[in-house]
Structure 1
Amino acid sequence: MPSSLTEIEVIAPNFKRKLSGVTSTIVQLIPLQRAKGLNITTIGPGLPPSLPRIGWSSLLGLWSRPKHRPFRIWHARRNNEMLAGIVLRWLCGSRLKLVFTSAAQRDHKPFTKWLIRRMDAVIATSGRSGSFLKVPHRVIMHGVDTSLFHPPANADDRFEASGLPGKYLVGCAGRIRPSKGTDLFVDAMIALLPHYPDWSAVMTGRTTAEFANFEAELRSRIAAAGLQDRIKFLGEVPDVRPWYRRMTLYVAPSRNEGFGLTPLEAMASQTAVIASDAGAYAEMITPETGRVVPAGDGEALRQAIEPYLADPAKCLAAGQAGLAHVRANFPLEKEAAQILDVYETLFAGGSR
């Protein structure tokens, strides 16, 4: 779906072919932003054909002003996209202002700092990521589509559809690897499930060849504990959403994370959440919706999980609170509106 360059107000580049969290953000936000009247388009590989886009040759025409704005905005989310925006503006004389969204939760390298200082506006996806920025910025946290992630609605959303023994399900999602804390989750389940026979556990997510031995070791631990019927690796499921709804408790045990959407997706599904303090998890979970523990602390994770297994009613109350919390504070529409406000602030600031 090509776009006419004269109408384009904002360009959201995607310079990575493989699917990533950044790509997913672009895919979800652009339709909402266009529905608000913003003429925004994409450029780059790895995006669905349903999104509006311009070709690489169109960049030669960026020296001209758009039809209804004094300049265009180039919204980068990666270093190479920031660099491209700088090149287009300063070397090609393009009429652009530059926006960068930062999700990194670490001190930036000198080159990245140099790039960021040349942006006209900077967005941080969490307070923690913002704390590493040395420039003025606005915190806009990611949201979740509450029409796609919603409470159980039919029989397929219930625990019984899982085919697992017991009455309740605890689970985690994400690739099977140490950085995601899969081993911490497995160890907690091995320690706890013998005491709580009404519960089973699942992990959804792909295991790459690099971590095949890691998964095999976890499977050996589970088998040695005699829990292979109650702790399951599901692999990469076609649709993770029903699994969130089948869970009574969701666990996000990551050792490190960029932002991390899965707790929001679980809460939007009316599921209680326990998470590490990796990524932005601590900024999305309240005492009413679940618990947050230090990243990498397996014992703290086990201790946080046990009261919820012991009292499923506690999970139900936290799940209801989480649903209300996400709908009030983390709808995807709110993220789109806040980013649009950043754009409008730049447009209102004058011409380039």
Structure 2
Amino acid sequence: MPDIRDVEIIAPNFKRRLSGVTSTIVQLIPCQIRLGIKIATLGPGLPEDLPKLKWRQLLGLWRPPASRRRRVWHARRNNEMAVGILLRHLTRMPLKLLFTSAAQRRHTAYTKWLIRRMDAVIATSDRSGSFLEVPHTVIQHGVDLALFHPPDTAEDGIAATGLPGRHLIGCFGRVRHHPPDTAEDGIAATGLPGRHLIGCFGRVRHQKGTDLFVRAMIELLPQHPEWTAVVSGRVTAEHVAFADKLKADVAAAGLSNRILFLGEVPDIKVWYRRLTLYVAPSRNEGFGLTPLEAMASRTAVVASDAGAYAELIVTGETGSVVAAGDGEALTRAIAPYIADPALAIAHGESALRHVRANFALEKEASAIGAVYNSLLGDNRS
């Protein structure tokens, strides 16, 4: 438990279930600490190795930190903004309020009211910033280049999956519906005919566009017998019928041994390194980190223009972007990579250079740190 006197930045997390916001906090805070930012979290659903305040320590916020006149309360959700406003205005705690917005939609009147009471606002993309009606700074998310990196061991190759071949295409996230014991067991047991893998890894649901990927595979695979498609992730109870319909469509096309539903993979990072192409067919997203994680693994990306995807991918150099929900366009964008894996490999090399130059996690942390410093003001004399 950190000493509240040493904490200058508080990053609340008021949601117990894992979400994109929670994932951002988990990845970003260790990097911020390495850069010397005195930050701690508050709330449930976070790893124990993060510096985490107890609720009772909020009483210590009446006294500023040892070296500053005030602290920063960095909110990412409405309820976190509301608590920050209460702490500052009701209890008169010396706080500056910061909000990061990833929303790709018009804000409600209540959210606008909360945002207007912030001292500073960060948008995670130009698109999310376009929905804000207050001055803001655009700081795009970054990716941890130590965790997401190109293949460097035998485990990172396709041979480690138990399948023949060398080329993978993927679309990542979470799906579970009657999976085998492990994803690797499911692969090894199939006796697949193909030499290359195409994958879509993400929660199986309409929002994530899993049906668009499966439809593209049903159309393309008969012309490319050397390829096999893989879908991996989680199916929640309300989406079981959706997943069952996809499996029925695959069976009706006679492709059940070439389009496989694997369940959740144990380590998503190694799967990025096994891929040659990653597919992100979402109909809508907040920001969407998976294309960055794929590109950091030297993998080209075909994605929809949901979330910030279009701002992450350089079309014709690191992959391709199509209109969200347009299944025909998605199929057309995937087709050249299936026909010519060397194209995907070349775009993967460009993608790695692009991410390293523009989307390192340290770059995001440094930019946010500059906002913190502007809010904290001068050190206490």
1:109-160 per-position Cα deviation (integer Å, ceiling 9, x unaligned): 0000010011111000111000000111111111111111111122222223
Correspondence for 1:74: 73
Using the TM superposition, name which of 5-14 and 195-204 deviates more.
195-204
- Give me the whole-angstrom Cα distance separating, in 2, the residues matched to 1:82 and 1:129: 18
Correspondence for 1:20: 19
- Give me the whole-angstrom Cα distance separating, in 2, the residues matched to 1:131 and 1:200: 40
Q: Trace 1:1-352 onto structure 2 (pairs within 5 A).
A: 2-162=1-161, 163=163, 164-287=192-315, 288-348=317-377
- Give me the whole-angstrom Cα distance separating, in 2, the residues matched to 1:201 and 1:244: 15
Q: What amino acid sits opposite 1:116 in the alignment? A: I
**8 Å contact 2:202–2:233 — kept in the other structure?**
yes
- Give me the whole-angstrom Cα distance separating, in 2, the residues matched to 1:283 and 1:112: 25
Q: What amino acid sits opposite 1:37 in the alignment? A: G
- Give me the whole-angstrom Cα distance separating, in 2, the residues matched to 1:37 and 1:265: 25
Aligned-pair distance for 1:202?
A: 1.2
Q: What amino acid sits opposite 2:76 in the alignment? A: R
Aligned-pair distance for 1:161?
A: 2.8
Correspondence for 2:174: none
1:91-110 per-position Cα deviation (integer Å, ceiling 9, x unaligned): 00100000000000001000
Aligned-pair distance for 1:245?
A: 1.6
- SS of the residue 1:336 aligns to: helix
1:238-258 per-position Cα deviation (integer Å, ceiling 9, x unaligned): 111121122211110000111
**8 Å contact 1:204–1:240 — kept in the other structure?**
no
**8 Å contact 1:277–1:293 — kept in the other structure?**
yes
Aligned-pair distance for 1:349?
A: 6.7
**8 Å contact 1:168–1:247 — kept in the other structure?**
no
Instruction: Output the aligned Cα RMSD.
Output: 1.2
- Give me the whole-angstrom Cα distance separating, in 1, the residues matched to 2:32 and 2:156: 31
Report percent identity of matched pairs: 65
| Count of aligned positions | 350
1:201-254 per-position Cα deviation (integer Å, ceiling 9, x unaligned): 112210011111111110111111121121111211111112112221111000
Aligned-pair distance for 1:263?
A: 0.8
- Give me the whole-angstrom Cα distance separating, in 2, the residues matched to 1:200 and 1:26: 36
**8 Å contact 2:2–2:40 — kept in the other structure?**
yes
- SS of the residue 2:284 aligns to: coil
- Give me the whole-angstrom Cα distance separating, in 2, the residues matched to 1:143 and 1:200: 31
- Give me the whole-angstrom Cα distance separating, in 2, the residues matched to 1:229 and 1:10: 52
Correspondence for 2:172: none
- Give me the whole-angstrom Cα distance separating, in 2, the residues matched to 1:241 and 1:249: 14
Q: What amino acid sits opposite 1:335 in the alignment? A: E
Runs (5+) with no aligned partner, structure 2: 164-191
Runs (5+) with no aligned partner, structure 1: none
- Give me the whole-angstrom Cα distance separating, in 1, the residues matched to 2:342 and 2:204: 30
Correspondence for 2:177: none
**8 Å contact 1:173–1:262 — kept in the other structure?**
no
Aligned CA distance change for structure 1 residues 350 and 119 (closer, same or farther; 3 Å) = farther
1:167-195 per-position Cα deviation (integer Å, ceiling 9, x unaligned): 22221221000000000000000000111
Aligned-pair distance for 1:166?
A: 2.1
Using the TM superposition, name which of 230-239 and 320-329 deviates more.
230-239
Q: TM-score, normalised by structure 1?
A: 0.97
**8 Å contact 1:152–1:246 — kept in the other structure?**
yes
- SS of the residue 1:178 aligns to: coil
- Give me the whole-angstrom Cα distance separating, in 2, the residues matched to 1:350 and 1:91: 25
Aligned CA distance change for structure 1 residues 320 and 194 (closer, same or farther; 3 Å) = same
